Chain A
Amino acid sequence: MSATTEVPATQGPNLKMAFNDYISRVKSGDIGALPAVLGLVALCGIFAAISEFFFTPRNFANLLTQAAPVIVIAMGLVFVLLLGEIDLSAGYAAGVTGAVLVLLISNHNVPWYLAILVSVAVGMGFGLVLGTLVARLGIPSFVVTLAAFLAFQGILLLLAGEGGTISISNKYILAVENNNLSVAQSWMFYIGAMGLYVLSGLNRINGRRKAGLKTELIKLWALKTIGLLVITFVGFLSLVAERGDPPRISTKGIPLIVPVILIMLVVGTFVLNRTAFGRHIYAVGGNAEAARRAGINVKRVRTAAFVICSGIASIAGLLFASRANSISPTTGGSSTLLYAVGAAVIGGTSLFGGKGKMRDAILGGLVVAVIDNGMGLLGYGAGIQYLVTGGVLLVSAGVDAFSRKGANAS
């Protein structure tokens, strides 16, 4: 119990106590994003030291667009992983919904926005079937989604035709992974996003103070916020810097995918942290029986999580189509899904359920992408890349299991 003893309110909190409190929380197993952040910093440091191209604006922008589809699939997976379930079919769900999108636009002249709606609806339909089988019939999600993994692969093959790829030339779809905000738009976006972040933080502190509750330490909050501002500002500056080949092609500005992912992060985090539905997802993942007795419709929560996961996968399908200008029978296949699960777990989401955040998908997705990108730059083949990624995943899953042990021991 000593690990959780808190500061007596009379003494008034200070930074040192907050730090000690954090250390004790880490010791008791609540490590949060720490391993992923440390890993990311270490990997970036290593690659930057070896390859001079790694820390260039062009590679940074490239890295973000590279990481995007896996990050998006991982975001959906977080919902399912929070329940302690798994969705092995999310990768091919992205492939199939991407194929639906591309076929509708390229072969049937459906307007792009309508096609996106249909592909998301198809994804959610997949999720509804999977979720119903898991929640109502009680078939383990591993088996249901393994079956779906094979079935979706089949559907994708049928849609694409043997060995064929279906290409897309719609400029709106292609823009998502290929276009950048103009420099002016980038500044507006950066200032706007950071302004909103600071305002919402102040608003939260103010709300708690009004309700007469102990507020988060202002100094600590300010430090964290300034840290985030500095880091993101450096990233932002590298993105608005010239990264093209100036006389011929000029490329600068934040890739369009960044705001897209940020919006998904904000919406997802809001759903998980600020709505009753999100709270119920954590509750079901933590103790389904307790949730049931508290009057929560556990089956509905389970089903909804699968619907969300496959629905979000269909957005990843859009990204795949946008990035490759086409969908092929292997889109969303091979290591995509495993990278996405790995991303969520590396970010700090627990495979045992009940623990995880939206931002885990981004942090972990970046770690996976940095390994891929950096090893590629250093000229290592796919073999070494897989080995290293596998090792990192094993380490992070180990950290998760180890931290759970620590939490139980306290």
Chain B
Amino acid sequence: MTDPILSLKGINKSFGPVHVLRGVDFDAYPGEVTALVGDNGAGKSTLIKCIAGIYTPESGDIFFNNEKVSIHGPRDSTALGIEIVYQDLALCDNLDIVHNMFLGREVKNGYILNEANMEALARQTLDGLSVRTVKSIRQTVASLSGGQRQTVAIARAVLWNSKVVILDEPTAALGVAQTEQVLNLVRRLADKGLAVILISHNLNDVFQVADNISALYLGQMAGQVKKKEVTTSQVIELITTGKSTPFTGVRS
């Protein structure tokens, strides 16, 4: 068993009187897809935003590569190699794929944008992810399908040799074929050695690609389990009641 690359211990976060996260432990492993599941309001988004540096937890520790780190803003998490692909993707429709992938982090020669270099790097990244659905990387994002947009957003996240990629509901708005494409891509990310955290409501997706499943229930970690050792109904129980009929292999 490898050590987790990202490990959260006893995270607490409240908004005024509402205690959203209560002593949450969470681990993500390199080369594995960890699904983060939970009902609406269970605290998934809050947990992710604590990792992203958008919220600062009131107490609890974050370990990255076994070292204690403090994340005070999005820049800190980016510097560690944590990238987040939000549900609404945050792409600029009027710019092309290369521009979007390098947005805010353009490669420059002095003051001049190095387009050739950026295009080559973008091409390389997409090829590395075996993305073949995008024909020209100089077409504007406006002309892409939902699955292709998701692909671009994910490719942008891995462009920077990131170590942890967090995907927020990547398949929520996609059709069957496109969902398949994106899930394959998610699998390939993990196979390349990245730690992938997948937030999803769709247990079919979760069981298809995840190695580990972490279920949040009312702000508490109901269980971090290996996919192989649980059934769908056990995970549903974890999500809806926070408890489950006995199973083996609980990690924490």
Contacts and interface: CB of A to CB of B under 8 A. Distances in A.
B111 interface: yes
Given A28-B143, A274-B113, A286-B95, A294 B120 contact: no
A293 interface: yes
Q: How would you classify the secondary structure of chain B's contact residues: helix, strand, loop or mixed?
A: loop
Contact of A354 (B92, B106, B112, B116): B92
B142 A290 contact: no
B30 to A, nearest CB: 25
Which of A4, A207, A290 is most buried by chain B, counting CB atoms within 10 A of its CB?
A290
A295 B145 CA distance: 25
A291 interface: yes
Interface in B43-97: 74-75, 78, 86, 88-95
A296 B93 contact: no
Contacts of B75: 295
Contact of B112 (A210, A275, A291): A275
A232 interface: no
A5 B142 CA distance: 13
A276 B113 CA distance: 6
A296 B104 CA distance: 6
B161 interface: no
Contact of A282 (B94, B111, B135, B144): B94
Contact of B116 (A211, A282, A283): A211
Contacts of A28: 143
Contacts of B103: 279, 283, 290-291, 294, 296
A355 B92 CA distance: 11
Contacts of A287: 90-94
Given A286-B92, A354-B94, A279 B106 contact: yes
Nearest to A278: B113
A296 B99 CA distance: 13
Nearest to A408: B142
Contacts of A280: 104
Interface residues of A, number: 36
Contacts of A274: 112-113
Contact of A283 (B78, B95, B117, B142): B95
B119 interface: yes
Interface in B131-178: 135-136, 139-140, 142-145
A3 B144 CA distance: 10
B8 to A, nearest CB: 22
Nearest to A273: B113
Interface in A254-299: 274-276, 279-280, 282-283, 285-287, 289-291, 293-296
A30 interface: yes
Contacts, number: 94
B95 A282 contact: yes
A293 B113 contact: no
A294 B90 contact: yes
Interface string A199-222: 000000001101111000000000
Nearest to B106: A276
Nearest to A4: B143
Contacts of B119: 208, 211, 213
Contacts of A355: 94
B228 interface: no
Given A211-B119, A294-B105, A6 B136 contact: yes
A286 to B, nearest CB: 4
A20 interface: no
A211 B93 CA distance: 26
A275 B88 CA distance: 27
B108 interface: yes
A175 B111 CA distance: 34
A295 B117 contact: no
A185 interface: no
A407 interface: yes
Nearest to B140: A30
A286 B104 contact: no
B111 A275 contact: yes
A249 to B, nearest CB: 46
A352 to B, nearest CB: 10
Contacts of B74: 293, 295
A234 interface: no
A231 interface: no
A241 B136 CA distance: 47
A354 B100 CA distance: 13
B92 A282 contact: yes
A28 B93 CA distance: 13
A410 B90 contact: no
A239 B176 CA distance: 63
A22 to B, nearest CB: 13
Interface in A25-64: 28, 30
A210 B113 contact: no
Interface of A: 1, 3-6, 8, 28, 30, 207-208, 210-213, 274-276, 279-280, 282-283, 285-287, 289-291, 293-296, 354-355, 407-408, 410
Given A279-B95, A295-B104, A408-B142, 11 more contacts: A4-B139, A4-B144, A6-B139, A213-B116, A279-B99, A283-B92, A283-B104, A287-B93, A290-B91, A291-B104, A293-B90
23 contacts: A6-B135, A8-B135, A28-B143, A30-B140, A207-B116, A211-B120, A213-B120, A275-B111, A279-B95, A279-B103, A282-B92, A282-B95, A283-B103, A286-B94, A287-B91, A287-B92, A289-B90, A294-B90, A294-B103, A294-B104, A295-B74, A296-B104, A407-B143
Q: Which 7 A-B pairs have the closest CB atoms?
A: A294-B104, A286-B92, A211-B116, A286-B94, A354-B94, A290-B90, A295-B104
